[in-house]
A and B are shown apart, each in its own frame.
Chain A
């Protein structure tokens, strides 16, 4: 107990306090120590409450731990004094309201003194002192509470404690952006949300308070923060733009930041003279402003009760889809989806009149006389009546729906007069009036008079006159033996198709296609469609090839590769496309094609054509050489009648391409023909697959 000698403790504490108070000044070290104030101050409070608890429990149990109480009070007293000293240091930082700070300081010192006294009392043996010990204890706690409260006012502002205890003030209703005051209703709200917690009259960080026009104009420790009319010169704006990592960026990192919209509004306000009284209607207008201001409108809040399960089910039974906008909230979205809409059905829906905020009756049998029951739907925000027979008379029923934001009237009988008289009562933000009787000329008038947006469909100049699509052939067939009838169709209805067979491009004076085109010789057919309001289609061109002899008997020395099989396809008169897997192409890997054709009697032949495909990237190359041999007897006496050597030029081709090689064998009379198509065999050195077998792709061998 020697150390806790009362005299020692008191004297040393008083000396320490006096020394420190007298020598201290706002050096960095002192400021650093000051920041420990919020930590240390909680120690004596906690210790004191614990002591009170021990004291009372000890008394009740008749087992009073006198020494424990003494130790605890000594602990409290020491840290109370230390908290006072550190608090004093912290006050050097400045930015606090002087009045509040003074109260906090003196009540804090008083508390420290009271705790020290408590400690002394606890050591006393005097009966009188023992009697007042407990009341004195309570007084000390009250004193600490007051000191603590003022401390919290300094850090959190004066209404921090009671913020949620007070019933919120009813917000003033502002339903139109023109009646917003730029400072009071907009800028102040931004500052209040993001800045004022640290810059107010009690907590004035950087000597700046932003909670009143005077405070803003007065500025902070570095002078004025606002330069009217020039945001870039106003430090209260500039500090918002600094990078987040910058020490001077506001609000500091970790605090809620201003959004881009907030920043835009503050800039706008400062650049327009930073007036504290002006209404927005007197400020220069622009679209961004109008859009951003909408967020600051305040509407009267209407409380809506939940709809009953019975009513919702009844509505569903008659064909409405009823959905909640958000689960747990009463607002409903109602759409008619099943069956035929009747007046009775609408009547039954009335039960949901307060909850329905979105009503969709589009594409129904809705008519003017059915709609009168909807008068009571006053909470509608979105109303969709498109694709119905309603006229101006129907709109009158919704004049009480004051919160209407979106009104969709597309494809109805509504006129501009109807809209005009409706807007006298309610002006939705968006009105859809495409395919209605609303006059284009009065549209602009309505929009500017009522400040709303009315959509009347895409601009007429959106669609440039475009080309019709090419007609298409009924079938892909273009090889024929005697005659062929060619059918055409056009995707756009009632387009006229013109065609030529002489190789010239067709125009609207050419032959007109009506039913079918009959061809009995090889021609190039060119077709093109025409229609009023469109540019003519590109020319579609197709070669028709007449075959002299259809081949039905043939023999191959080597069958095609099993991946692209079907030797019969070479004589089926169906050509392949550039898509090599379309099923019409027959492939030979590394092998030549060698086929003997039996014409079944001696016939005159003048040409043999072979269709080949090349796709270098797919390892498919054109043949090296083609040769035709003829003989009147089978298996012997074949004589070469024609040959075609192909000299490759260049390397890579451009994707898939098709070539027809024709070998002239003038006036050959023969029954048997041997056709040899020589595979390129080995991929050349420049090819990625050099040295490997190459593919040979053929779809037709034609005897002409």
Chain B
């Protein structure tokens, strides 16, 4: 009885007002005879009060290939011959200019400059510089828009990734995919609109892990949290019916639970109950839609070859890229990949070679595969990590090997499709590859631009929580029009 009375006490002023608000909002929507009010449960929840998109979007979906750990821009894309010339000499103080360092190198007596061990060449009509580590990416540079001038505020992994994903270094805000799911709703009622795929790199196999809060819904309804698709037997955990249970029985059970939940909802008015009902239904539909989506057996051999032989090994980046394309074909809004292992503090040349091999062919193949299916036009592909790496060596610099520490002041990302200029390079770093000299692009700028391509004005898309309106871009961010078609 105590539990029950607690429930009643919980139904307080705030709940009452919320319920009232929803009721009035619902009435208003109904009176406008909105033709889109009879959407499926999820869409309907999304449609309340949000007039999105603000303008016609260029991109319908996003595939975000997150390179967790911070890939070294100096060994992949940002060619700095001066660093090779000055190899071993100290980083001038005038260049570093008091930039804070991580605890991992702040104790170093010297900061010996080091260029990449890898040969760079210019490729394509756009003459973009790419190192020999990325031969397949080099072939498709004319599809890519390189941003050489990304910069961030965080210097350690967790705050930096959280910053990229949620717009804040502190945890607790919704991930980009959750914002998109909340704002734009789903295009496919059988699959979640925000899916997550994880892979571990071979460069540094036991690097720091990722946390599911990175694809969490924060203060948004839990409908919008990212759903992780795993590589094992059960792509989505706890989705399968237990042995001996038929789909009919499951249906009956869900109907009964839903009835109970509706009663509960009417009594307490907690909107989270509606989310729960919708999630049960989504899970039921996913029981059939997920296995067909995850079944890469049906991919023909020439596609497997395109993504590389690894794409047949579940859980690899290549396999995830192939899955990402399959999810994009099914109109999943936001497909988030994470590839771990770019955090190469020591023995970088050796590790990055393996790591680059993991992703090079599959990334390029994904972009070309989307293109040949006509999907690249309205799919924004983003590749990049949470920060870059230093131009000086962490640990001892030898002829063969070196390491690089975290560097937030400049790093390279690339995008493709979704209304972004192909064959284009934006921004420039200095000859030391330490500071940005032209067209800096902040994390919030990237988020603002991403939302702009999805038809959202980032300054108007807010959610009120604990008395304040929150935005993915917080109080800053500009759409970088120069990289848009």
Contact = CB atoms under 8 A, between A and B. Distances in A.
Interface stretch (B53-61, B71-79, B247-255): B53-61
Interface string A397-430: 0000000001010100000000000000000001
B55 A458 contact: no
30 contacts: A259-B481, A291-B485, A309-B33, A312-B35, A313-B38, A323-B36, A325-B56, A326-B53, A326-B54, A326-B55, A326-B56, A326-B455, A384-B374, A410-B372, A430-B374, A430-B377, A432-B373, A432-B374, A455-B371, A456-B372, A458-B365, A462-B140, A463-B305, A463-B306, A466-B361, A467-B309, A469-B310, A469-B312, A491-B313, A492-B312
A29 interface: no
Contacts of B7: none
Nearest to B314: A491
A468 B482 contact: no
A331 B455 CA distance: 15
A260 B52 contact: no
B187 A458 contact: no
A225 B192 CA distance: 59
Given A325-B56, A326-B455, A491-B313, A457 B485 contact: no
Nearest to B369: A458
B427 interface: no
Given A307-B35, A312-B36, A432-B373, 6 more contacts: A386-B373, A434-B373, A458-B371, A466-B361, A492-B309, A534-B309
B368 A462 contact: yes
A327 interface: yes
B198 interface: no
B440 to A, nearest CB: 15
Nearest to B139: A462
Pairs of residues from A and B, 10 with the lowest C-beta to C-beta distance, nearest first: A491-B312, A408-B374, A432-B374, A458-B368, A309-B35, A457-B372, A434-B372, A469-B309, A327-B51, A312-B35
Nearest to A537: B309
Residue with the greatest number of chain B CB neighbours at <10 A, chosen from A291, A406, A491, A534: A491
A321 interface: yes
A492 B301 contact: yes
B304 interface: yes
Interface residues of A, number: 43
Given A462-B139, A469-B309, A492-B301, A324 B36 contact: yes
A224 B482 CA distance: 31
Contact of B374 (A323, A406, A493, A655): A406
A307 B36 CA distance: 12
Contact of A455 (B35, B140, B310, B374): B374
A328 interface: yes
Contacts of B377: 406, 430
Contact of A410 (B56, B140, B374): B374
Interface residues on B, range: 35 or more
Contacts of B218: none
Contacts of B373: 386, 408, 410, 432, 434
A455 B373 CA distance: 9
Residue with the greatest number of chain A CB neighbours at <10 A, chosen from B136, B139, B373, B485: B373
A456 B374 CA distance: 10
Given A324-B36, A327-B51, A492-B301, A469 B313 contact: yes
Contacts of B188: 337
B364 interface: yes
Contacts of A455: 371-372, 374
Contacts of A491: 309, 312-313
Main secondary structure of the interface of A (DSSP, over half): loop
Nearest to B312: A491
A462 B306 contact: yes
Interface in A565-621: none
A331 B56 CA distance: 10
Contact of B136 (A408, A462, A467, A469): A462
A42 to B, nearest CB: 34
B179 to A, nearest CB: 17
A337 B43 CA distance: 15
B159 interface: no
A291 B365 CA distance: 26
A462 B482 contact: no
Interface of A: 259-260, 291, 307-309, 312-313, 316, 321, 323-328, 331, 337, 384, 386, 406, 408, 410, 430, 432, 434, 455-459, 462-463, 466-469, 491-493, 533-534, 655
Contacts of A469: 309-310, 312-313
Interface in B280-317: 301-302, 304-306, 308-310, 312-313
Residue with the greatest number of chain A CB neighbours at <10 A, chosen from B38, B51, B372: B372
A600 B370 CA distance: 66
Contacts of B301: 492-493, 533
A386 B302 CA distance: 19
B197 to A, nearest CB: 18
Contact of B304 (A430, A432, A492): A492
A386 B313 contact: no
Nearest to A327: B51
Nearest to A306: B35
Contacts of B374: 384, 386, 406, 408, 410, 430, 432, 455
A387 to B, nearest CB: 9
A486 B455 CA distance: 57
Residue with the greatest number of chain B CB neighbours at <10 A, chosen from A309, A457, A463: A463
A618 to B, nearest CB: 10
Residue with the greatest number of chain B CB neighbours at <10 A, chosen from A309, A312, A467, A468: A309
Contacts of B56: 325-326, 331
B236 to A, nearest CB: 21
B69 to A, nearest CB: 17
Contacts of A463: 302, 305-306
A408 B372 CA distance: 10
A445 to B, nearest CB: 20
A105 to B, nearest CB: 44
A35 B408 CA distance: 47
Contacts of B372: 410, 432, 434, 455-458
Nearest to A261: B482
B308 to A, nearest CB: 6
B456 to A, nearest CB: 11
A384 B331 CA distance: 14
Nearest to B37: A309
A309 B38 CA distance: 10
A430 B422 CA distance: 15
Contact of B309 (A321, A434, A468): A468
A602 B465 CA distance: 77
A351 to B, nearest CB: 13
Contacts of A312: 35-36
B317 to A, nearest CB: 14
Contacts of B306: 458, 462-463
Contacts of A493: 301
Contacts of A325: 56
B127 to A, nearest CB: 14
Nearest to B439: A260
A227 B455 CA distance: 42
A616 to B, nearest CB: 14
Contacts of B51: 327-328
A188 B245 CA distance: 72
Contacts of A386: 373-374
